[in-house]
Structure 1
Amino acid sequence: MDSADSEAGAASAGGSTGTGLPPGDFGVVLATLRARRGWSVREVARRTHVSEGQICNLENGLRNPTPSVAAACDAAFGTGGELVELVGRGRRGVRDEGTVETGPVAAGYERVLRELKDVGRSTGPRFVTASLKSITRILTDAAPRAVGEQRAELWLLASRFAEYTGWMAQEAGDPAEALRRTNLAVRWGARGGDETVAAYALVRKASIAQHRGDGAAAIGCAAQAAGHPAADPVIRAHAARRAAQAHARRGDAGACREALEEFRGHGAEAVGGRSPHWGPRVENGNPLLLEASCMLGLGRFEEAADLFAAERGRRSALPSDGNSRARFAVRQATALAGAGRVDDACQIVEAALPVIRRIDSATVRAELAGFVRQARTRRAGPGQLALIDASAALALG
């Protein structure tokens, strides 16, 4: 962040006038700095000699910091006194009565959302959820006091924060909270004048249903998303991807193939347009990795293993974040185990386990449980059995 950006964040969102802090009040800044470092609440508490409960209350805006606590946080994060400057400022420009100037707030939090997404993809939900929730509160406090386009902009930004918080809730193994946040995203998106979030929310609901094993519900939600009046090619591509995987898990190869073709068609239509407002970039998706995942769901293990090997061998074909790489590694290992190549499967899983432990993703752990089920049906040596047992323990969380 350059100095102009930092000063804008300080004036409108309670940020520091220095150059190193993200915008936001003390709790948001503390949570964001913690996420950047990849520190747990316990680690911050250890470094600051402040209780874990107090750190949580600070991040969630339930408690204001004292100067001594702020100074301890400054020392822990090496922020040179900037956190002390935030003490007593609260959420200036947000809780005051009357109209507020919100342009710099929105611009600052747009950048923070991108940063938190990067952290979430690499480290999982535990380091970003507190920041996401705190910033969402700031935005929903500010939106009713803004006017015109700025009010709509804040509601849309709050909707995007809610949608990603729902993703993180799903990754944390809390589908009920994921649905609640998704519904909030729809409500706030409508207040901002954007109905596309209602269409994309159906894709999210398809994903939640898929991960709880309800293929029929996943297919139904995907069909509703694709047919929604506000759906664009990006949303239809996401819907087709969910439908393809759900059909595969139900053993319907024909419907799966049709959905894969729809994914390719809508994805090609989406490329070259404006950046999608909801969900990952379709053009960054890999149709062959999706096809490999579908072949795995259909039980065509050899075909899936060959596709995974070809695509994972090309680094440019893989997603860049740790979560997706671990997910596809486990899927490849599951296909290999299903094909009877347990030794190759175990080597892949052994390399992926440290990343899986770090990101602590419920959806990746579910993939790991699938590997365990396949591997345990095959003959394995003592070392392989130990790895399978370790994988089973990790899959249980």
Structure 2
Amino acid sequence: MEKSFGAYLRQLRLAAGMSLNDLSAAARYDKGHLSRIESGSRPPTADLARACDAALDAGGALIARLPAATRRRPPAPTPPPATTEPAGDTWSLTLWPDGAGYMSARRYGHPAATDEPAVIGWPPMRQAGEPEATSIATVFSAVTDLGRRHSPALVLPQVITLLQTTRGLAAATRGTDQARLLHLAARLAEYAGWMSQETGDGRAARWWTRACSDLAREIGDDNLVAYTNVRRALLSLYDDDPLTTIAAAGSLRGRHGVTTRVRWLAAMREAQGHALAGDRDGCRRTLDEARTLHDRIGDDEPVRPLGTTSTLDVTAAVEGWCLHDLGHHAEAAGHLATALHSTTNQIAGAVPAERTPVRFAVRRVLALTAAGDVETGCALMAGLLPDVLRLDSATVRHDLGDLARMLTRWQHLEPVRALRPRLAAALTRPDAAAAG
């Protein structure tokens, strides 16, 4: 496959009338390295294929020549699990669908510790009404506000417990109050899936997304059922699986009972899938569709909107994201800078930065670095690291891994040498990267 890719690269380069020097300057890869790729003595990478595809205006044809395994990024390293039991109280929690449950608490490393755990239980929930549903919605809003600015590990236990409590209340309630509680439970399950994805646990994210879909079907919320396909598309995108991303997002076309906002979110996911596959035309077509849909979002939306509620221009930011995956790195960085303009002060530390702007800000760093503006990229990344560490996002680490690999091409530069140890710490031990 490497030889086939290299021969095709050479064919496209000659057809474009470019020398190796020309391609080296346009793609920002060493001439000798490109020569070894063309001869088949070195395997291509996804980054190189995207850069050369853009430089040769190949429209994704070169990206499509990559072996499937090469298109997938290596997973970012995750911290190893603890090998010893920590001192202090350890709780095991069991929650039943009717709201009943019990907690088994055991104390380790304490002089008064015994082998017998303390067991604390509580009965099933009683019938609830509008006041209880309103109170749960208020707690949910507070938890999601934490999730926008802090580690998913901080909010995920609260979301799961609140979800199970809500299910218990719904089991004891009837009528419209039950429907409202089940809808809250479905939204909590969807949010648990997102936070699970942010911890790096794709399997748990898919489990919670299925739970959301099942609860939404139970109450006949077709819009929320449809939105779970948007979530599945995003999970597939981070698995570097463009075909599944496109299929999941594209399945909402012509589907009844789907709001304009959900169609807008689906169009953006589909565009990202096309970009990952190297399909420039498909990406542009679905981005245009996303812009049109965004302009039509109106009063048919629920009180609590689905998907991101960030104040930045998400459609423009997604376009920048796509341009980077298509190999147009300088253009991508410009789009992302424009989209992030309204949140610059926030990301600079005026207030705790939110998850969505930071994710796109890191993607901007990646695009700048790929475009050869390494010093600016390193300076921005150094400023972003405190927010990156606090958010502790596996999806952000997805791009950090790409950045770390990319910087090996410029490891002779002082800004790169200064950043790389902190970047490596952020990828392996998030609490250690703040040092230095």
Deviations 1:76-101 (A, max 9, x none): xxxxxxxxxxxx9956xx535xxx13
Match for residue 299 of structure 1? Answer: 327
Deviations 1:1-29 (A, max 9, x none): xxxxxxxxxxxxxxxxxxxxxxxxxxxxx
Quote how far apart the aligned CAs of 1:144 are.
Answer: 2.0
Match for residue 249 of structure 2? Answer: 222
After superposition, the CA RMSD in angstroms is 3.0
Match for residue 367 of structure 2? Answer: 335
CA contact (8 A) 2:128 2:170 kept: no
Gaps of 5+ in 2: 1-85, 106-119, 430-436
* Partner Cα distance (1:281, 1:243) in 2: 19
Aligned residue for 1:63, secondary structure, equals: strand
CA contact (8 A) 2:198 2:394 kept: yes
Find 1:117's aligned residue among 117, 122, 144. Answer: 144
Letter in 2 for 1:388: R
Letter in 2 for 1:108: S
Quote how far apart the aligned CAs of 1:62 are.
Answer: 3.8
Match for residue 263 of structure 1? Answer: 290
Match for residue 355 of structure 2? Answer: 323
Find 2:125's aligned residue among 95, 112, 118. Answer: 95
* Partner Cα distance (2:278, 2:346) in 1: 26
For CA contacts below 8 A with separation 6 or more, give which structure has more relative contact order: 2
Deviations 1:88-147 (A, max 9, x none): 9956xx535xxx133222111101111111101100211111111111111111212211
CA contact (8 A) 1:241 1:263 kept: yes
Quote how far apart the aligned CAs of 1:156 are.
Answer: 0.7
Find 2:180's aligned residue among 147, 150, 153. Answer: 153
Greater strand content:
2
TM-score (norm 1): 0.74
* Partner Cα distance (1:52, 1:360) in 2: 25
CA contact (8 A) 2:128 2:169 kept: no
- For 1:62-211, list aligned pairs within 5 A: 62-63=102-103, 90=122, 94-96=124-126, 100-211=127-238
Q: Quickly say closer, same or farther: Cα 1:58–1:179, change in 2 above 3 A.
A: closer
* Partner Cα distance (2:307, 2:173) in 1: 27
* Partner Cα distance (1:255, 1:318) in 2: 34
Match for residue 351 of structure 1? Answer: 383
Q: Quickly say closer, same or farther: Cα 1:224–1:373, change in 2 above 3 A.
A: same
Gaps of 5+ in 1: 1-45, 66-87
Deviations 1:230-282 (A, max 9, x none): 32211110101101111112211111111111111111111454346422349
Quote how far apart the aligned CAs of 1:284 are.
Answer: 5.8
| Number of positions where the alignment pairs a residue of Structure 1 with one of Structure 2 | 324
Quote how far apart the aligned CAs of 1:332 are.
Answer: 1.1
Aligned residue for 2:257, secondary structure, equals: coil
CA contact (8 A) 1:244 1:257 kept: yes
CA contact (8 A) 1:271 1:282 kept: no
Greater helix content:
1
1:373 and 2:410 aligned: no
* Partner Cα distance (1:311, 1:277) in 2: 21
Deviations 1:322-353 (A, max 9, x none): 21222122111111111111110000110111
Letter in 1 for 2:213: V
Rg larger in 1 or in 2?
A: 2
